[in-house]
Structure 1
Amino acid sequence: MPVEYAAFCELHRPRYLSYARVWLPDADEAADSVQEALCEVAVHWRDLLVSRNPTAEAWHILRSTVAARLRAETSAAPEPRGSGPADEDLAILHYVVGLAAPEIADVVGSDTANVAGRLRRALLHEPADW
Structure 2
Amino acid sequence: MTNRQDSAAEPPPGLGEPPAVPLEFAAFCELHRPRYLSYARVWLPDQTDAAGAVQQAFAEIAVQWRELLGSSNPTAHAWQILRGTVNEHTLRADPPAGPSRPADDDLAILHYIVGLAAPEIADVIGTDTASVAGRLRRTMLREASGW
TM-score by length of 2: 0.80
Q: For the residues of structure 2 that align with 1:112 and 1:5, how far apart are their CA atoms?
A: 24
* Letter matched to residue 66 of structure 1: V
Gaps of 5+ in 2: 1-20
Match in the other structure for 2:100:
79
Secondary structure of the 1:25 match is coil
Do the aligned residues in 2 keep the contact of 1:88 with 1:122 (CA within 8 Å)?
yes
> Displacement of 1:80 after TM fit?
7.0
- Aligned counterpart, 1:26: 46
Residue 121 (structure 1) aligns with: 138
Distance 1:118 1:92, change over 3 A: same
Deviation sequence 1:43-99 (CA, Å, 0-9, x none):
000000001110000000000000001111112398377xxxx11010000000000
Tell me which amino acid in the other structure corresponds to 2:73. Answer: N
Give SS of 1:126's match: helix
The amino acid that maps onto 1:106 is: D
Identity across aligned pairs (percent)?
A: 67
Q: In the aligned structure 2, how far is the partner of 1:80 from the partner of 1:54?
A: 23
1:10: how far off? Answer: 0.3
Query: C-alpha distance in 2, partners of 1:38/1:14?
Result: 12
Runs ≥4 residues deviating over 6 A: none
- Partner residue in 2 for 1:4: 24
Q: What is the CA–CA distance in structure 2 between the aligned matches of 1:116 and 1:122, rounded to whole Å?
A: 10
Match of 1:109 in 2: 126
Determine if the alignment matches structure 1 residue 70 to structure 2 residue 90. Answer: yes
Residues of 2 paired with 1:76 and 1:24: CA distance?
14
Tell me the TM-score normalised to structure 1 length: 0.90
Name stretches of at least 5 consecutive residues in structure 1 with no aligned partner: none
Q: Secondary structure at the match of 1:20?
A: helix
Residue aligned with 1:75, SS: coil
- Match of residue 13 from structure 1: 33
Greater Rg by CA:
2
Assess if the C-alpha contact under 8 Å between 1:94 and 1:100 holds in 2: yes
1:57/1:118 CA distance change after superposition, 3 Å: same
The match for 1:50 is 70
